[in-house]
Chains A and B, each alone.
Chain A
Amino acid sequence: MNDVVISVRELTKRFCNFTAVDHISFDVHKGEIFGFLGANGAGKTTAMRILCGLSYPTSGSGTVAGYDVMHDGEEIKRHIGYMSQRFSLYNDLTVWENMRLFAGIYGLTSKQTEQRSTELLDRLNFSSERNTLVGSLPLGWKQKLSFAIATIHRPEVVFLDEPTGGVDPVTRRQFWELIYEAANEGTTIFVTTHYMDEAEYCSRLSIMVDGKVQALDTPARLKQQYAAESMDEVFRTLARGAKRGE
């Protein structure tokens, strides 16, 4: 298929004698919301960091937006957005200053920056907080802002590492609306989460156990396959087999 945005083959990352990511392979298609599930320590973040060009794989291959994860890390970075598990915008800058900074880094002109940030702030109902210091925002708002900034340059793929951890149910719902809107515009979403209700929103899911991809399919078919009522049950069945502690 031509619309493959992320393609991973036998990707492996070893730290000393610990194999964090163990020969994983999968494809992600354009416009998909790809859920990347797994217990803590299953290797999700490590795999995601490799795909974002933050970390080198030990072996195996992968391409993101057509660029090789081993050699073209910097090219990949032009075409992706990334939202880390830990809030990592500048707390001592305002909402607008953070937007201007990252827009500038991705090479938007000041006119484009103005346009795009106004658009994003409107979508977030955030226009009144334009000049608020980011550090003083509540967590849910910070996460929405992080997402907005990760998409400020209209990347082909957005990587979200537990974007809704610690966020209240109402804000989580709003957050997923943002994700859907981005996906509808053709952005591919690669998301990790521990919330099984969120897993149900994904187009396809992979579940990692001990560094390996144990299951990969749509939520409906996974439930069928494991004869489960909910994704929660599927996850428990798979995670029970884990040997690694947390």
Chain B
Amino acid sequence: MRAFLVLIQKEFLQIRRNSFLPRLIIAFPIMIMLIMPLIMTMDVRNVNVAIVDLDRSTASRRIASHIEASEYLTLTHTTTEYSRAIEALEHGMIDVIVQIPEHFDRDFMIATPQRISITANAVNATKGGLGMQYIMQTIALSLSEMRSESVPVEISELVTIENRYNPTLNYRHYMIPALMIILFILICGFLPALSIVGEKESGSIEQINVTPISRFTFTLSKLVPYWIIGLFVVTVAMLVARLAYGLVPIGSVGAIYLGAILFILTISGFSLTIANFSETMQQTMFVMFFFIMVFMLMSGLLTPIDSMPDWAQKFTIILPPRYYIEILRSVYLKGSTIAELNSNFIALGVFAIIFNTLAALTYKKQA
């Protein structure tokens, strides 16, 4: 027991003496949580629109004014020549062209008019696709207004829309839990591995290996400090999310901490296992990066698991972040309880046991 305590003390002293680590541990979560939510947004804004107005009528003016009024669309060009608009599209100055055909207004009132054509630049598929949808909604709104003025039916009253759990459809509320997981992976995933490999490179691990300390005690002494740091990081991240973005978990904070306790153990155990198989910092970094890429891109942090191909969905079963992201999002946005999410907690617990046992077993004191 005393051996364990002096080892923990040594780890903390080393972290404190490091000129860089304490600052990283404090500044990193704050920066990531403050700045990244502003950047990592899938809301498409500033869609630049050109109107090719061949009709020059009340209807075309009304559509134009609706586009101008939209929060997401910016009317940048109004022209009467399609070729001009296409040129602007090719130069990347506009994203969507709306062409209103001649006599659209007149025909709209009496019969079926010629179709309005919409051309979108889909190089950025998300922006093109969403821009197109916004335009269609806007035009539909304009047209229904015009119709309702002559025929007294409110089309918009026929449809009601409600987004449950994330009522404002705020993309940030979806991304903030993902950012928290990225923080854990970076801090609790990289640091323990680098600490072990650092000892291999400096040679001090040999002085440890020649003592009777058990490999379980030594592994645990590398684990516990980062576990405590991880809990500090989750606290900072939750505070920043609350103060800067007003995101408060609907469910219990206890569920978030329990998940954090298990997830940090898992990711640190994983990182220690990698370190046991690595001889140099470069090797560790490269191998960790490979796995971290898979964790970040395949665990449903950024893109929903449901839209992945079938084989990929099955593969996510063995990715620990997948379980914690579900916990975080459900607790934050839906207010789920530990009991409702028990399978996720069990999965994380199993991973924590597997990786840490592996880390202790692959640590070789005698070769």
Chain A contacts to B: CB under 8 angstroms:
52-56, 73-75, 77-78, 80, 82, 84, 86-93, 97, 100-107, 109-110, 133
Contact = CB atoms under 8 A, between A and B. Distances in A.
29 contacts: A53-B210, A53-B365, A53-B366, A54-B210, A55-B366, A73-B365, A74-B212, A75-B212, A77-B212, A80-B210, A82-B207, A84-B206, A89-B204, A91-B202, A92-B17, A93-B14, A93-B17, A97-B10, A100-B9, A101-B6, A104-B2, A104-B5, A104-B7, A105-B3, A105-B211, A106-B3, A106-B212, A110-B2, A133-B17
Contacts of A89: 204, 207
Given A55-B367, A74-B214, 19 more contacts: A54-B206, A54-B209, A54-B366, A77-B210, A78-B212, A88-B204, A88-B207, A90-B204, A92-B14, A93-B13, A93-B17, A100-B6, A101-B7, A101-B9, A101-B10, A102-B207, A105-B7, A106-B212, A109-B2
Contacts of B163: none
Give me the 6 closest cross-chain CB pairs, A-B, nearest first.
A104-B6, A88-B203, A82-B210, A88-B207, A77-B212, A78-B212
B112 interface: no
A106 B211 contact: yes
A93 B10 CA distance: 8
Given A54-B206, A77-B210, A78-B212, A90 B10 contact: yes
B213 interface: yes
B365 A104 contact: no
Contacts of B83: none
Contacts of A87: 203
A53 B210 CA distance: 7
Contacts of B18: 92
Interface of B: 2-3, 5-7, 9-10, 13-14, 17-18, 202-214, 365-367
A173 B207 CA distance: 25
A55 B209 CA distance: 10
B212 A97 contact: no
A107 B14 contact: no
Contact of A88 (B5, B17, B202, B365): B202
A88 B206 contact: yes
Contacts of A88: 202-207
Nearest to A103: B6
A111 B17 CA distance: 26
A105 B366 CA distance: 18
A53 B207 CA distance: 12
Given A88-B206, A89-B207, A90-B14, A107 B6 contact: no
A56 B207 contact: no
Nearest to A159: B210
A87 B213 CA distance: 20
B40 to A, nearest CB: 36
A108 to B, nearest CB: 8
Contacts of A84: 203, 206-207, 210
Contacts of B2: 104, 107, 109-110
A114 to B, nearest CB: 13
A55 B206 CA distance: 11
Among A82, A84, A88, find the residue whose CB has the most chain B CB atoms closer than 10 A.
A88
Contacts of A93: 10, 13-14, 17
Among A54, A103, A109, find the residue whose CB has the most chain B CB atoms closer than 10 A.
A54
B279 to A, nearest CB: 15
Nearest to A52: B210
Among B18, B205, B211, B214, find the residue whose CB has the most chain A CB atoms closer than 10 A.
B211
Contacts of A78: 212
Given A88-B203, A88-B207, A106-B211, A56 B6 contact: no
Among B3, B10, B202, B366, find the residue whose CB has the most chain A CB atoms closer than 10 A.
B366
A15 to B, nearest CB: 10
A103 B367 CA distance: 25
A90 to B, nearest CB: 6
Nearest to A104: B6
B366 A56 contact: yes
Contacts of A91: 202
B217 to A, nearest CB: 9
Contacts of B214: 74
A245 to B, nearest CB: 25
B350 to A, nearest CB: 30
Nearest to B207: A88
B211 A77 contact: yes
Among A80, A84, A90, find the residue whose CB has the most chain B CB atoms closer than 10 A.
A90
Contacts of A102: 207, 211
A73 B6 contact: no
A238 B51 CA distance: 96
Contacts of B367: 54-56
Contacts of B17: 92-93, 133
